[in-house]
C-alpha cells in the first residue's frame, strides 16, 4: 500500500485528537503571519525570516517550546534579528519540501528573497541556540560554523549531519557524500535515536547526490549487495530487512526487491519471516501487480485490522460532520478519511481477489458504514472488477441508488452477501 497500516492508523488518531483540541495562534516570540508576508516584512525591516518547522508529535520540538523559545535572551535576539515563524511542517508540506525539511525540529534562516542563509536542527538549549544562530547568520558561513561545531564531536551524528547538509547546500557534493555515508554506516551505532534520520534524511540526501555523482550510486549498490548476501545467508535483523527495500527505492530498482521476495519463497520455511517483512515493504508493488494472495499474507489479520480502522473512521466522521464546512479541523479529518477509504478499498480488492469472500464482505460493510453514497458503490464495483470478479462488480452497480433518503444504505445483508446468490 502507498501508506502502511501503522501510518494510516496514526493519521486517524491525530485526526481524532485534533477534533478535541482548540486551534492555537502564534505565541511569543513568533509572529502570526503568512510566509509570503513574513518575507516582505523581513525586507522592510532588514532582517531574516526564521522558520521553526515542527511536528505536533515531536518531543525535541516541545522542548524548544518549553525552554528555548521562552528564554528572554532568545526572544530578544529573535526580535532584533528575525521575523520568527512557527510552522507545522505536516500541514504545510509544500513549504517544508521547498526548504528541504526532513526532520524535526529544523530552524531555517531565510533571506527576504527566499534564499536560505543557514539552518539548525534538533533541540538546542537557549545558549546553544544563540551561539549557533549567531554564527549561522553571520558572515562565517554555514560550512565554517558546522566544521567548528564538529571539532571534538566527530562521533555525534547530529553535528556531522549539520556539516553534511551545509556542504550539500554549498554545492560541495563529494565531501558531503563522505559525511552522509559515515552517517549511514555509523550514525545509529553512535546514537540509536538517529535511526529515523538515517532512513529518511541521510538516505534521501545520498540519493539526491547520486543524480550528480556516480560514486554515490556505486556506494548504495555495494551496500545493497551486502544486505542481500546477509538475507540469503539467513543472517538478518530488523534493520537489514528494512534497509534493503529502501536502498532499492533509492536505486530505482524495486523489481529487484520483488525478485528477492520470490527467491526467499523458494528457499523454504526458514525464510518466511524475512520474506514477510520484505513483502510489507513492497506491499504497494504487490497490489499494483495484483499479487493479491501475497499482499494479504504479508499483513496479519488484514480484514480485522481494516474493520477496526473503519470503525474508528466512522466515529471520526461523525464528529467532523458536526463542524462547519471549511473548518480546518473538519478538512484535516476528511483528508485522513480519504486515506482510510483508499487503503480499505485496496484491502477489499485484495481479499476478494485472493478468494477470501467473507472477509472482503465485512470490509465492504465497513466502507458503506463510512460512506453509503453511490460513489462508494461504484468504487467497490471498480475494485471487484480489477480483482477479476465481474459478477460481484455487476451486483454492486445494480445496487447504486439503493440508499435510503437519509443517505444510509439498505440493510447490510441485502448488499453484502454476494456469495449466497
Domain final position from 139, 156, 182: 139
> What digits encode the pLDDT tens for the residues 63-117?
999 999 999 999 999 999 999 999 999 999 999 999 988 789 999 999 999 988 8
Residue 192 lies in a domain: no
* pLDDT, tens only, 199-258: 999 999 999 999 989 999 999 999 999 999 999 998 888 889 999 999 999 999 999 999
Residue 284 lies in a domain: no
Residue 209 in any domain: the answer is: no
CA nearest 78: which of 116, 30, 32?
30
Q: For residue 193, give the DSSP letter.
A: G
Which domain-ending residue is among 95, 123, 139?
139
**Helix and strand tally (H, E) in the chain?**
23, 4
Q: Is residue 415 part of a domain?
A: yes
The reply to whether 272 falls in a domain is no
Q: Is 61 a catalytic residue?
A: yes
Q: Where are the beta strands (DSSP E) in 75-162?
A: 82-88, 106-110, 116-121
Judged against a pLDDT cut of 50, whether residue 421 lies above it is answered with no
DSSP 361: H
Residue whose C-alpha is closest to residue 46's, from 15, 82, 18, 7: 82
CATH code at 133? 3.40.30.10
Residue 243 grid coordinates: 534497509
pTM: 0.69
Rounded to whole angstroms, the Cα distance separating 142 from 138 reads 9
Q: Specify the range with the lowest mean pLDDT, choosing from 140-149, 157-166, 322-331, 355-364.
A: 140-149
Question: Which range marks the domain in which residue 355 is found?
Answer: 302-420
- Cβ contacts of residue 415 below 8 Å, gap of 6+? 364, 365, 368, 399, 402, 409
Evaluate whether residue 204 is within a structural domain. Answer: no
Q: Which of 39, 50, 61, 83 is catalytic?
A: 61
Decide if 68 is inside a domain: yes
pLDDT value for 279:
93
Last residue of a domain, one of 139, 172, 193: 139
How remote is the C-alpha of 175 from its chain's centroid? 28
Is 298 considered catalytic here? no
Q: Which residue of the set 10, 16, 33, 58 is catalytic?
A: 58
Rounded Cα distance, 345 and 364, in Å: 8
pLDDT at 349 over 90: yes
Query: What is the total count of domains within the chain?
Result: 2
Distance CA 184, CA 190 (A): 11
Whether 122 is in a domain gets the answer yes
Amino acid at each position: 500500500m502507498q501508506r502502511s497500516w501503522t501510518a494510516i492508523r496514526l493519521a486517524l488518531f491525530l485526526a481524532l485528537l485534533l477534533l478535541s483540541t482548540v486551534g492555537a495562534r502564534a505565541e511569543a516570540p513568533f509572529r502570526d503571519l503568512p510566509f509570503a508576508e513574513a518575507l516582505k516584512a523581513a525586507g522592510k525591516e532588514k532582517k531574516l525570516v526564521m522558520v521553526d518547522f515542527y511536528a505536533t508529535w515531536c518531543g525535541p520540538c516541545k522542548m524548544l517550546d518549553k525552554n528555548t523559545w521562552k528564554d528572554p535572551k532568545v526572544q530578544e535576539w529573535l526580535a532584533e534579528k528575525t521575523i520568527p515563524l512557527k510552522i507545522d511542517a505536516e500541514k504545510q508540506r509544500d513549504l517544508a519540501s521547498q526548504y528541504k525539511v526532513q526532520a524535526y525540529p529544523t530552524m531555517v534562516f531565510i533571506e527576504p528573497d527566499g534564499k536560505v542563509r543557514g539552518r539548525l536542527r534538533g533541540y538546542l538549549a537557549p545558549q546553544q541556540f544563540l551561539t549557533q544562530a549567531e554564527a549561522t547568520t553571520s558572515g562565517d558561513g554555514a560550512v565554517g560554523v558546522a566544521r567548528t561545531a564538529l571539532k571534538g564531536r566527530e562521533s555525534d551524528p547530529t553535528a556531522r549531519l549539520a556539516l553534511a547538509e551545509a556542504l550539500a547546500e554549498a554545492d560541495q557534493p563529494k565531501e558531503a557524500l563522505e559525511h552522509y555515508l559515515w552517517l549511514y554506516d555509523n550514525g545509529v551505532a553512535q546514537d540509536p535515536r538517529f535511526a529515523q534520520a538515517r532512513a529518511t534524511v541521510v538516505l534521501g540526501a545520498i540519493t539526491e547526490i547520486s543524480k550528480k555523482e556516480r560514486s554515490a550510486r556505486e556506494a548504495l549498490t555495494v551496500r545493497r549487495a551486502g544486505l542481500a548476501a546477509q538475507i540469503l545467508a539467513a543472517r538478518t535483523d530488523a534493520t537489514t530487512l528494512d534497509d534493503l527495500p529502501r536502498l532499492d527505492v533509492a536505486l530505482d530498482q524495486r523489481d529487484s526487491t520483488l525478485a528477492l521476495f520470490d527467491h526467499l519463497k523458494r528457499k523454504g520455511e526458514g525464510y518466511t519471516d524475512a520474506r514477510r517483512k520484505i513483502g510489507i515493504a513492497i506491499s504497494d508493488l504487490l497490489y499494483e501487480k495484483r499479487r493479491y494472495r501475497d499482499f494479504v499474507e504479508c499483513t496479519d489479520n488484514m480484514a480485522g485490522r481494516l474493520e477496526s480502522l473503519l470503525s474508528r473512521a466512522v466515529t471520526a466522521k461523525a464528529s467532523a460532520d458536526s463542524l462547519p464546512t471549511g473548518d480546518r479541523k473538519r478538512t484535516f479529518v476528511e483528508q485522513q478519511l480519504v486515506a482510510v477509504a483508499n487503503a480499505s478499498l485496496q484491502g477489499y480488492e485484495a481479499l476478494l481477489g485472493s478468494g477470501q469472500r467473507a472477509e472482503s464482505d465485512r470490509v465492504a460493510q465497513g466502507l458503506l458504514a463510512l460512506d453509503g453514497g453511490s460513489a462508494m458503490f461504484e468504487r467497490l464495483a471498480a475494485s471487484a472488477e480489477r480483482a477479476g470478479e465481474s459478477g460481484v462488480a455487476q451486483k454492486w452497480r445494480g445496487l447504486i441508488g439503493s440508499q435510503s433518503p437519509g443517505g444510509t444504505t439498505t440493510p447490510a445483508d441485502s448488499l453484502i452477501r454476494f456469495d449466497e446468490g
